[in-house]
Amino acid sequence: MFSWKLAILILLLCSTTSPHLVSGNRKSKCTMEQKEKVLLHCIAFTERGTPPIAVHRDSVCCETVRAVPNREMRCIVELLTDEEKKKKYDVHRILALKLICGQRSPPAPKQNKIMV
């Protein structure tokens, strides 16, 4: 009987003192190298003050975005310095890359040739 009480006490003690998995320290989903590559290859779209251009899903920009786990552009934005956010890059455009660069475009269907 005492061992059960001790086990429950230990279980309660551990569950209240150990950090919860959700609130524990998470590692970043992206790296500084990925941030630099996204900003380099997508500069024409993400640079502040420039007219927005169309980004094609098969572009180098989108290939770089897809290299980031889950295309998590919020992580890229979090790695920006305050000065980069204010003066150099448009945060909303960077976040939009997640949707723009969804999945790679499917190949065009083969056309049936009509023999005459």
Sign of the dihedral defined by the CA atoms of residues 32, 37, 43, 46, in that order = negative
Q: Where are the domains of the chain?
A: 32-100
**Cα angle vertex 58, ends 53, 59, to 5°?**
50
- pLDDT at residue 24 above 60? no
pLDDT tens digits along 54-96: 999 999 999 999 999 999 999 999 999 999 999 999 999 999 9
What is the predicted pLDDT for the residue at 87? 94
pLDDT tens digits along 27-40: 558 999 999 999 99
Structural contact between residues 29 and 79, judged by C-beta atoms closer than 8 angstroms: no
